[in-house]
Homo-oligomer: A and B are copies of this chain.
């Protein structure tokens, strides 16, 4: 269902006022009205329409991938997306990083009393659009309403279920010495778009989140026979954290060339002004692919066919002299250890 048809077909439960009340999470009449007037018409599918305690589905495969995430992003609307599109993209991307094709998602809402129903509709509409774009169905859900002050506007939990496409799914333990490390696009847009929106901070160039589904691009890599040793989407903690996770689990050295890391100018400027290191800033539509060196060019060619991949770049090579470490080669030729951050550079980014 498209955004427009949803907006047209969904009547607002205006009789009770235009905000969410505690009763909308009660399980009683108001909960039913919310489900029937907003969620069911939006997520429109035969599984949800059975209104059961649990959705019953027949999977195409017994080999499946499952992921779950809670979304607490602040602000809930930001340039390039909102908490609704974000929760679908994040979940889809976690599934395809395992070489799985996303099939179904569940969405569960925790809403603060007094939240505008119009905002809920916008978010649900974004979920619909993102789900429809990636061919996933929303098959189960839940809504809880908490009293004013007990939650910050709205939190969404999404669980995703996908079908494993590869007999030998990618994973950090499959990384080998000599493999190429490729990033699918420029980094840090999501984190900086959210930070700028939160601080009502205006740049000359409007900065939009990179939030996007990666399933099509990954499916294409699979179809074209690229040997995928490891895939990892870059989210909380940014590129540096992702690379450290891979280095730790694989026991390899990850050597990165700073000058080859793709970064657009507005992200760089915003990071400088706010004193942040872009290597630790979250993306929501970028990933790292680690492939044998001979697949390096073809991987980049495939990625660059997509708008979200037009800044794809080979950023480094897997080595072995510093096991478990990420080494950053600077433009001056120096080499330094790039560690994970301990705490939080940007809270509530997703």
How many residues on A have C-beta within 8 angstroms of the other chain's C-beta atoms?
87
Q: Which residues of B lie under 8 Å from residue A249 when comparing CB positions?
A: 51
In the complex, how many angstroms separate the beta carbon of A261 from the nearest chain B beta carbon?
Answer: 19
A19, chain B: closest CB distance, angstroms: 13
Partner of A55, one of B62, B65, B347: B65
One digit per residue, 1 when the CB lies within 8 angstroms of any chain B CB and 0 when it does not, for chain A 90-132 equals 0001110110100010111110000000000000000000000
A84 to chain B, nearest CB (A): 16
Q: A294 on the interface (CB 8 Å rule)?
A: no
- Judge whether A142 is part of the interface by a CB distance below 8 angstroms: yes
| Residues of B with C-beta under 8 A to A104 | 66
Within 8 Å CB of A341, what residues of B? 26, 28-29
8 Å CB interface, A51-87 against B: 51-72, 74
What is the predominant secondary structure among interface residues of chain A facing chain B? Answer: mixed
Q: How far is the CA of A241 from the CA of B169 in the complex (A)?
A: 45
A residues 328-350 touching B (CB-CB < 8 Å): 339-345, 347-348
Q: How far is A341 from B95 in the complex, measured between Cα atoms in Å?
A: 40
Q: Which has the most chain B C-beta neighbours within 10 Å: A27, A58, A237, A340?
A: A27
Answer whether residue A229 sits at the interface, using C-beta atoms and an 8 A cutoff: no
- A136 CB-CB contact with B under 8 Å: no
Chain B residues within an 8 Å CB radius of A89: none
CA–CA, A61 and B185, complex, Å: 39
Q: What residues of chain B lie closer than 8 Å to A209, measured between beta carbons?
A: none
Sorted from nearest, which 7 A-B pairs have the closest CB atoms? Answer: A27-B236, A23-B343, A157-B157, A27-B237, A54-B67, A150-B152, A68-B106
Q: List 25 A-B contacts (CB under 8 A).
A: A22-B344, A22-B347, A25-B344, A26-B347, A28-B236, A28-B280, A28-B341, A53-B67, A53-B93, A56-B164, A58-B63, A68-B107, A68-B140, A69-B142, A70-B108, A70-B142, A72-B110, A72-B144, A72-B146, A72-B151, A108-B159, A110-B110, A110-B155, A151-B155, A155-B155
